[in-house]
Structure 1
Amino acid sequence: MSTISIKDIAAKAQVSTATVSYVINGTRNVSRKTRERVEQVIEEMNYKPNNAAQSLKRKRTNTIGVIAEDVTVFNVPEIIDGINDCADRLDMHILLTNLRLDKRIGRQFDQVDAYRKYAEDAVSELLGKQVDGMIYIGAHPRDLTGLFDTEGKPIVYTYCYTQNDVSIQYDDEQASFEAISYLTSKGHSRIAIISGAVDSMPSRLRLGGFYKAITAFELPFNPQWIKMGDWEAESGYRLAKELLETPEPPTAIVAMNDVMAVGVMRAAKELGIQIPEQLSIIGFDNREFSEYVSPSITTMDLPLHEMGYKAMEALSHILQGEKVETGEKPVCKLIERDSVAELAT
Structure 2
Amino acid sequence: MSVTIKDIAKLAGVSHTTVSRALNNSPLISEETKAKIKTIAAELNYTPNYNARSLVLDRSYNIGLFFSTIHEGTSSSFFYEVVRGVNHIVHKEFKLIVSGIDDYVDFHSINRKHFDGIIVMSQSTKDDSFIYNILEKNIPLVVLNREIQDAPIMNILSDDRNGAYKAVEYLIHRGHKKLAIIEGKKGFKSAQERKDGFFQALIDHNITITKDFIVEGKYDSESGYKAMKELLRLSDTPTAVFCSNDDMAVGAMKAIAEQGLKIPDDISLMGFDDNVFSPFLSPALTTVKRPVEEISKEGAKKLLDLIHGEQVTKEILHINTRLQIRESVGRMKVMD
* TM-score, reference length from structure 1: 0.69
Q: Report deviation, 1:137.
A: 3.3
Instruction: Report the secondary structure of 1:153's partner residue.
Output: coil
Q: Report deviation, 1:264.
A: 1.7
Return the alpha-carbon distance in structure 2 between the equivalents of residues 20 and 130 of structure 1.
20
The answer to whether the 8 A contact 1:317-1:324 is kept is no
In the other structure, the counterpart of 2:167 is 179
Instruction: Report the secondary structure of 1:146's partner residue.
Output: helix
| Structure 2 unmatched runs, 5+ | 1-18, 41-56
The answer to whether the 8 A contact 1:158-1:169 is kept is yes
Q: Report deviation, 1:254.
A: 0.7
In the other structure, the counterpart of 2:262 is 274
The answer to whether the 8 A contact 2:62-2:114 is kept is no
The answer to whether the 8 A contact 1:142-1:161 is kept is no
Instruction: Report the secondary structure of 1:314's partner residue.
Output: helix
1:66 corresponds to 2:64: yes
CA RMSD, aligned part only? 3.7
Query: How is 1:101-112 mapped onto 2 (pairs within 5 angstroms)?
Result: 101=100, 112=102
Q: Percent identity?
A: 24
Alignment partner of 1:134 out of 83, 96, 118: 118
Q: Report deviation, 1:341.
A: 1.4
In the other structure, the counterpart of 1:9 is none
Return the alpha-carbon distance in structure 2 between the equivalents of residues 276 and 252 of structure 1.
9
Q: Report deviation, 1:280.
A: 0.6
Cα deviation, 1:80-118, whole Å, max 9, x if unaligned, reads 443355558xxx72331122x4xxxxxxx7xx5x5244x
In the other structure, the counterpart of 1:166 is 154
Return the alpha-carbon distance in structure 1 between the equivalents of residues 193 and 121 of structure 2.
20
Return the alpha-carbon distance in structure 1 between the equivalents of residues 322 and 253 of structure 2.
22
In the other structure, the counterpart of 2:275 is 287
Q: Give the aligned residue type for 1:270.
A: E
Q: Report deviation, 1:282.
A: 0.8
1:241 corresponds to 2:244: no
Alignment partner of 1:338 out of 323, 327, 331: 327
Instruction: Find runs of 4+ consecutive structure 1 residues off by over 6 angstroms.
Output: 23-26, 59-62
1:79 corresponds to 2:82: yes
Alignment partner of 1:324 out of 314, 317, 323: 314
Query: How is 1:1-150 mapped onto 2 (pairs within 5 angstroms)?
Result: 21=22, 27=29, 35=36, 65-69=63-67, 73-85=76-88, 93-99=93-99, 101=100, 112=102, 115-117=104-106, 120-121=108-109, 123-124=110-111, 127-128=112-113, 131=116, 133-138=117-122, 140-147=123-130, 148-149=133-134
The answer to whether the 8 A contact 2:121-2:145 is kept is yes
Q: Give the aligned residue type for 1:326.
A: I
| Structure 1 unmatched runs, 5+ | 1-17, 40-58, 102-108
Instruction: Report the secondary structure of 1:338's partner residue.
Output: coil
Return the alpha-carbon distance in structure 2 between the equivalents of residues 24 and 166 of structure 1.
24
Cα deviation, 1:13-56, whole Å, max 9, x if unaligned, reads xxxxx89956986849x99xx949959xxxxxxxxxxxxxxxxx
The answer to whether the 8 A contact 2:115-2:139 is kept is no
Residue 205 and residue 245 in structure 1: after superposition, are their counterparts in 2 closer, same or farther (change >3 A)? same
* TM-score, reference length from structure 2: 0.71
Q: Report deviation, 1:261.
A: 1.2
Return the alpha-carbon distance in structure 2 between the equivalents of residues 35 and 321 of structure 1.
28
